[in-house]
Amino acid sequence: MTSATQPAAAQGHYVQANGIDIYYTEVGAGTPLILLHGGLVSTNPIWDATPLSYGSHVADLARHFRVITPDTRGCGKTRHSSGTISFALLADDVAALIDALGLERPCVAGFSEGGVTATILGIRHPEAVRALVNHAGYDLLDPQSRSMAMMRQMLGGSPDAQRSDPESMERFFAQSPQMYSMFQLMKSDQDGAQGDGYWRTYVDLAFARTTTWPGYAFEDLRKIAVPTLVMAGDRDDFCSGEEAVTAYRSLRDGELAILPNTAHVITPQSVSIMREFLSRNTGER
């Protein structure tokens, strides 16, 4: 269902699901669409001006869908008590969110880390969703993925790091003004939501999850029973075009989109492709 008018501003809420209080925003009407943010990012509007967030695209998507954007466990305003946070746990959180909100087979789309979560949701809970979008989040389906070494370097200071090192991470991001601006946003976001110094805890949790194979491989994609779009830029440092083809060919009902001259970012073109794919598979226009 498409609205000809500008949708109202997204409203923030909490709902108890899978043993935690999940913070989410909601705006729009029609088929529910859950958008899962990437790593280091949350639903906080301070990210909207960056190409790492869906934030600046939510109003447009809300003209076509009921858009729900949660903060994932341990990130932003969604708290986590103790222990590691696996991608399987994040996927189960989304399944529990769907149940708690009474959603009937929503669409689920995710970028980067959110794409991993969306895909594992489709594997673990194939009956829970109507369509999936994995935007640059299929790299970790390879047990030997170079992304894990890249994340160890980024969050731990070395490709062989066994634990996070927040100071090394800050030095890594300080290599360029653009990267350091992202780092400062992350600190402000996480500390503002969960207390001074929390950003270090967040980095610990992210390190454990993003430097370890999640236990699901490309062949597991055959368990996904719904239409699934695999999408990435041709200049993505984490997700290669070759891996995108492998993921696409492993799906029972898959589509593939490779965006030219595009890195590991969310662009208007990628959102347009996602919207068109979801519209075809939901009847929304």
5-14, 92-101, 105-114, 152-161, range with the lowest pLDDT: 5-14
> Is 47 a member of any domain?
yes
> Is 6 a member of any domain?
no
Q: What is the mean pLDDT of residues 237-248?
A: 97
Q: What is the pLDDT of residue 9?
A: 73
Closest CA to 266 of 225, 221, 236: 236
Q: What is the pLDDT of residue 283?
A: 75
Strands 228-233 and 254-259: parallel
Whether the per-residue pLDDT at 285 is higher than 90: the answer is no
User: Mean pLDDT across the chain, nearest whole number?
Assistant: 96
Closest CA to 269 of 232, 243, 242, 237: 232
Q: What is the mean pLDDT of residues 102-107?
A: 97
The CATH code of the domain that includes 33 is 3.40.50.1820
Does residue 42 share a domain with residue 117? yes
Q: What is the pLDDT of residue 284?
A: 64
Does residue 104 share a domain with residue 205? no
Q: What is the mean pLDDT of residues 86-106?
A: 98
- Name the domain count of the chain: 2
* Residues of the domain holding 228: 11-145+215-282
Token output for 34: 């859950």
> Is 3 a member of any domain?
no
Asked if 280 contacts 249 with a C-beta cutoff of 8 angstroms, the reply is no
Global pTM reads: 0.95
Q: What is the pLDDT of residue 10?
A: 76
Does residue 245 share a domain with residue 124? yes
Does residue 179 share a domain with residue 45? no
> Is 160 a member of any domain?
yes
Cα–Cα distance between 130 and 179 in angstroms, integer? 36
Longest dimension (CA), the chain: 53
The residue among 193, 212, 231 that closes a domain is: 212
The residue among 181, 212, 243 that closes a domain is: 212
Going by pLDDT thresholds of 50, 70 and 90, the confidence category of residue 242 is very high
Does residue 202 share a domain with residue 135? no
> Is 2 a member of any domain?
no
**Contacts of residue 242, Cβ cutoff 8 Å, sequence gap at least 6:** none
> Is 4 a member of any domain?
no
Does residue 114 share a domain with residue 41? yes
> Is 234 a member of any domain?
yes
The residue among 189, 212, 235 that closes a domain is: 212
Does residue 197 share a domain with residue 69? no
